[in-house]
Structure 1
Amino acid sequence: MLPIAVSVAEVERRNIDGPAGMTWIAIRMLTGDRQKFYGLLFGIAFSTLLITQQLTIFVNLIERGASGAYNVATADIWVMDPVSRTTDVNFPLPATALDKVRGVPGVSWAVPHLRAGASVRTADGDLEGVTVIGVDDATLIGLPKSMVEGDFAALDNPDAVLIDDVGATRMFPPEISPIGQRLELNDRRAIISGIVDAIPSFTSQVVLYTRYSRALGYVPGTRNRMSFVLVKAVDGVPPEALTQRITQATGLRARTRDEFARDGVDFIIENTGIPLNFGITVALGFIVGVAIVGLTFSLFIRDNIKQFGALKAIGVTNAKIRRMVAAQAGLVGLIGYGLGVLGTIAFIQGFSANPTFKGFYIPWQVPLISLVAVAIILALTGWLALRSVLKTEPAAVFR
């Protein structure tokens, strides 16, 4: 904390009318009280870290609802029963639906796609819930883009299945290679012949890929078995227009890949408590920031009320006092905000090797939201702390 005489001398030396000089004095007053300065930095940094980190996890988590659609990069359109909502919440189609879709003008190709839940027994006797995905026998359309280990041609082998990379880490310990491991699916043998690089699902459930005809044997069920029809539009035909054409011609629900991916995200938002839970956490981060910064800022202003009174006594107006407090808040905000964002980046990088956080990133909108929150915290707490300064009479400092 600077003595009054020093503050006045510095003001006179640096030109009281100059904005740079007043800003320098404001920063000296702030950094002179190190305990409160560090307390303000901690409050802003912690609030920024909590808001940014929780929003980042929330966005990445709900985007997992679109993983089923984006793992199939070659299909422009997904066709399904009118009651189906997502890749995991679907109603089977009759086999005749495939020929109906293929007969719609503008369809380049259409292939069957099966998605069903099953329980698998490992060689050790453990039971694991899995999602079985059946891809087109001839073209293998429906598989992710790339492999982590092995080759897509391995599906030509008898009883061959491919496992997703995150599921492989869940089902097998690091010292055991999944390749060649035998599983039991509905009293039928399945041999893991490769590991695919896939976007994890919302539930992070193990996913097994195999040929459509083989998948029908792994997950027997009702007469209608086909979950979706994957469609590619003819060059020059917009997928949006083709979806309307398919719906009108077949009575089925057709969605572009992006629309269907958005359906998966909306389903999570509408049917889970995740938005509310993360919203409460973000709100708590904001409230904690207001409480810590507001209390510390108020104590700082109260301890420096004589300095502000001395400045007013030598001619510093309330407008300049406001600019000084704004400069102090701006310095604390920029440093604290930077520390909070860096902490979030360190968190994401630190857990990037964990399969649970595979593909996590920080959307550019999240730091902007955190910046707005920090600005509101500083504006609110600064305004509350500034009221006592503006009411201070210059003569009070000489009593």
Structure 2
Amino acid sequence: MNWLALRMLTGDRSKYLSLILSITFATLLMTQQVSIFMGIVTRSASQIVDVRDAEMWVMDNKVRYIDEAPYLPTNDLQRVRGVTGVEWAVRFHKSNMTARLEDGNFRNIIMMGVDDATLVGAPRRMVTGDLGDLRLPNAVFIDKSGYEYMWPGEPFRIGREFQINDRRVILAGVCKASAPFTTLPVLYTRFSEVERFLPSNRNLMNYILVKPAEDRDPLDVCRAIDAQTGLMALTNDGFFWKTIDYFMGSTGIPINFGITIALGFIVGAAVAGQTFYLFTLENLKQFGALKAMGVTNVRLIGMILLQASVVSGIGYGLGMGMTAIFFTFTNRIAPMAGIHMTTVAASGVGAAVLIIVLLTSVFSLRKVLFLEPAVVFRG
């Protein structure tokens, strides 16, 4: 019977290919949009992910996301260090600045100021240069995508000089960093260099990076810091999701992508359902003949589910393959770098395709289950 079901499925090539293409298109559209959505939202907290030395962030208790952090008084650092369970705590700076290149052009940048002594928060994956070079006078690191944005088409060259707030800086290394939400170049330097760029600001520390003691639960240490200092302490994961929650609730990104994903599901279900329903109608006489021969409804259900499974499996595989090819090429474009197909997107879309298959099968099964075998003898 399975062989007969497959022969019936492939008998009409046009409808067979239409079914596969509808599932393929729905899979491609949904997987692409879900993956891009996840990549863009993750970028909003990419600087949190890149700090691998510390386990906790301490900030003003009104901070809603990473780009909205007022500066803290210097004595807050000592107050945090005095909390029981804190192994060490260092200052950290993040702000937007403007760089002036050798040719006079300006570029907006994201500046990260790390602790002078420990370099906690500095990038660990270098393309060229050495981490220790950040301790050189006027030294800055720039992320790879940022270098290509500021000096497009030019090879990596250490020692380039440019200006930040009329202060001379020297490029000491190119690093790998997660792409930020705004796709601006990310520069790293020591905290003392930031003080040179912004001498008029009395306080320049807007975050304190903390490492809890080995025998202490980070969440317990966070609560202790909250209680003793009045500041807000979050684990890396906690701050990551707090930032993402802000962007999810304060921007139109979820709605826009949600509409596109829903349209992909609706179009895929509608086209596949209509085509599969018409396919079943055209084969009612064959199903009637099988019922007249004594084939049970359970067996007929199995045949239709097999047909739907074959179509959905091929369509899902083709859609995933086309999505992978899409991201392979788009990853070469700077704004799309780092956005790729995720396992969450693939599994979620797989579940959506399964729902489409079940819906189309239900509509087709209604005709078959209530079919009178005498239909085969009608003209």
Q: TM-score, normalised by structure 1?
A: 0.90
| 1:276 has 2:262 as partner | no
**In the alignment, which of 40, 56, 75 is matched to residue 54 of structure 2?**
75
Q: Deviations over 1:127-162 (max 9, x none)?
A: 211111111111111102221111122223332211
CA contact 1:179–1:193 (8 Å) conserved in 2: yes
The number of residues matched between the two structures is 378
Q: Take 2:376 and 2:85, find their aligned partners in 1: how far apart are those partners? A: 84
Q: TM-score, normalised by structure 2?
A: 0.94
How far has the Cα of 1:177 moved from its partner?
3.1
Aligned position for 1:228: 207
Q: Helix, strand or coil for the counterpart of 2:45?
A: helix
Q: Helix, strand or coil for the counterpart of 1:258?
A: helix
Q: Take 1:104 and 1:175, find their aligned partners in 2: how far apart are those partners? A: 49
**In the alignment, which of 246, 249, 262 is matched to residue 267 of structure 1?**
246
| 1:38 has 2:52 as partner | no
CA contact 1:72–1:145 (8 Å) conserved in 2: no
How far has the Cα of 1:392 moved from its partner?
3.3
Aligned position for 1:113: 92
Aligned position for 2:141: 162
How far has the Cα of 1:345 moved from its partner?
2.1
Give the alignment of 1:29-178 within 5 angstroms.
29-178=8-157
Aligned position for 2:324: 345
Percent same amino acid among aligned pairs? 45
Give the alignment of 1:368-379 within 5 angstroms.
368-379=347-358
CA contact 1:101–1:246 (8 Å) conserved in 2: yes
What code does the residue aligned with 1:151 have? D
**In the alignment, which of 333, 345, 348 is matched to residue 366 of structure 1?**
345
Larger Rg: 1
Aligned position for 2:366: 387
Q: Which moved more, 1:28-37 or 1:84-93?
A: 84-93
| 1:199 has 2:178 as partner | yes
Q: Helix, strand or coil for the counterpart of 1:128?
A: strand
What code does the residue aligned with 1:229 have? I
Q: Take 1:328 and 1:188, find their aligned partners in 2: how far apart are those partners? A: 69
CA contact 2:71–2:203 (8 Å) conserved in 1: yes
CA contact 1:135–1:210 (8 Å) conserved in 2: yes
Unaligned runs of 5+ in 2: none
Q: Take 1:178 and 1:263, find their aligned partners in 2: how far apart are those partners? A: 38
Q: Helix, strand or coil for the counterpart of 1:225?
A: coil
Q: Take 1:208 and 1:365, find their aligned partners in 2: how far apart are those partners? A: 31
Q: Take 2:228 and 2:290, find their aligned partners in 1: how far apart are those partners? A: 80
CA change 1:79–1:394 in 2 (3 A) is: same
Q: Helix, strand or coil for the counterpart of 2:347?
A: helix
Q: Deviations over 1:190-228 (max 9, x none)?
A: 221111111111112111111101112223554332111
| 1:356 has 2:364 as partner | no
Give the alignment of 1:175-190 within 5 angstroms.
175-190=154-169
**In the alignment, which of 262, 273, 282 is matched to residue 294 of structure 1?**
273
CA contact 2:124–2:131 (8 Å) conserved in 1: no
Q: Take 1:72 and 1:396, find their aligned partners in 2: how far apart are those partners? A: 70
Unaligned runs of 5+ in 1: 1-21
What code does the residue aligned with 1:134 have? G
CA contact 1:118–1:219 (8 Å) conserved in 2: no
Q: Deviations over 1:349-371 (max 9, x none)?
A: 33333343433343333222112
What code does the residue aligned with 1:340 have? G
How far has the Cα of 1:377 moved from its partner?
1.0
Q: Which moved more, 1:280-289 or 1:296-305?
A: 296-305
Q: Which moved more, 1:252-261 or 1:167-176?
A: 167-176
CA contact 2:93–2:113 (8 Å) conserved in 1: yes
